Amino acid sequence: MAGLTLKGIYKKYPGGVVAVSDVNLEIRDKEFIVLVGPSGCGKSTTLRMIAGLEEISEGELYIGDRLVNDIAPKDRDIAMVFQNYALYPHMTVFDNMAFGLKLRKVPKDEIERKVNEAAKILDLTHLLDRKPKAMSGGQRQRVALGRAIVRSPKVFLLDEPLSNLDAKLRAQMRTEIAKIHKKLGTTFIYVTHDQTEAMTMGDRIVCMKDGFVQQIDTPQNLYENP
C-alpha cells in the first residue's frame, strides 16, 4: 500500500522565497489527488519534493509508512510525468520506454514484456519503432506515460501533463488518464492550473494559494460549496 502523508511541509528556496508553507495532506492508497491553483502557488514544488527532486526545508514526508525525506528519488517507488515529455528524441518509442528499466538492469525479456504491456494499454503498439521527433504531441505524451507505467511505481506524479496539447486532445487525454488510473490501481498525484481538469479527474482536489493549502474536498462538495 502506498498512501502518502505530508506533515508540516515547507519549502524555502535560497534567496528567501517560501514556495510551500505548512502543507498537511493524507493521500489514500489508490487515490487520484489533484493539486490545483494559479501559477506560482507552489504545486510544482510540492510535487518535486514528493519526487525527491527538491529538498524539503521542514516537515515530514511518508510514502506508505516510510519516512522518505532523505531517500533518493530512484528509491522512492514513484514515477513522474512532465509537461514537456522529457523524451529522448532520437531513440525509438520502445527504447524510450525501456530506458529506465535498462538502467535498473531489468532482464531483457521482462523489459520486452513490460513495454509491450504498457504499449497495449496506451495504444502505442504500432508506434514502438517510431522516434518521438516524428510523432504528434498526444502520441509523445502517451510515450511519457508509458515510460512511467513500465516501472510499476506505487505512486504516479504528473506535472501539468496536458498543458502542451490542444483543447480537443486535452479532453481526450483526460478520459484516457482516468482509465489508466483505474486500470493500474495506483496512487496518482496530478498538478494542474486547469479547473476543469481538476474537477473532472480528481477523487479529491487540493486547492493551493501562495504556498498554502486553502481547501481539500471532493469535486462534488467543491461544486456545491465553492
Q: Which of 36, 44, 146, 188 binds ligand ADP (CB under 6 A)?
A: 44
13: which residues sit within 8 A by CB, 6+ positions away?
Answer: 19
**Site for ligand ADP, residues 11 to 30, rule: CB under 6 A:** 13, 15, 17, 19
Binding residues for ligand ADP restricted to 76-135, rule: CB under 6 A: 92, 94-95, 108, 112, 128-129
Give the binding range for ligand ADP (CB under 6 A) out of 34-42, 60-68, 75-83, 213-221. 34-42
Q: Which stretch binds ligand ADP (CB under 6 A): 43-51, 59-67, 72-80, 212-220?
A: 43-51
Neighbours of 74 (CB within 10 A): 12
CA–CA separation, 130 and 120 (whole Å): 15
Asked if 45 interacts with ligand ADP (CB under 6 A), we say yes
CA distance 186 to 150: 13
Q: How far apart are CA 204 and CA 18, in angstroms?
A: 25
Rounded to whole angstroms, the Cα distance separating 217 from 84 reads 29
List contacts with ligand ADP (CB under 6 A): 13, 15, 17, 19, 37, 39-45, 92, 94-95, 108, 112, 128-129
